[in-house]
């Protein structure tokens, strides 16, 4: 899978769409129930909150032992976000749970 997040001269909108696709593909590769994966973006100024929703049975897989998988996802997003000039925050939830 090839992601062109780092193309020069791209618009922020295109970068956001590619960021969402990147996150979605990473999470779908980890979980068992790919149909339950939802990625939503909530934008506010220079910050974008990425809400990842997965099945309850897959929540532990996405978080990982001691949060290492979730931390790795956040690190990838952090590195990819330099071109979009936005700060991304990741929130991981199970289907049916409320966000904070």
Domain with 76, as residue range(s), is 12-94
* More confident call, 76 vs 16: 76
pLDDT tens digits for 20-70? 899 999 999 999 999 999 999 998 888 889 999 999 999 999 999 999 999
Kindly state the helix (H) or strand (E) to which residue 61 belongs, with its residue range. Answer: helix 59-63
Q: Tally the domains of the chain.
A: 1
Residue 14, CA distances (Å) to 20, 55, 86 in order: 10, 28, 13
Residue 25 maps to a domain? yes
Residue 1 maps to a domain? no
Residue 4 maps to a domain? no
pLDDT value at residue 97:
66
Average pLDDT, the chain: 84
Give the phi and the psi of residue 33 in degrees, each rounded to 5.
Answer: -100, 85
Residue 65 maps to a domain? yes
CATH no. for residue 89? 3.30.300.20
């Amino acid at each position: 899978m090839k992601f062109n997040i780092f193309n020069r001269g791209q618009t922020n909108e295109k970068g956001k769409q590619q960021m969402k696709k990147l996150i979605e593909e990473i999470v779908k590769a980890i979980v068992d129930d790919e149909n339950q994966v939802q990625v939503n973006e909530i934008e506010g100024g220079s910050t974008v909150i990425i809400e990842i929703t997965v099945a309850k049975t897959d929540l532990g897989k996405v978080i990982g032992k001691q949060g290492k998988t979730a931390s790795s996802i956040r690190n990838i997003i952090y590195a990819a976000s330099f071109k979009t000039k936005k700060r991304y925050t990741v929130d991981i939830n199970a289907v049916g749970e409320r966000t904070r």
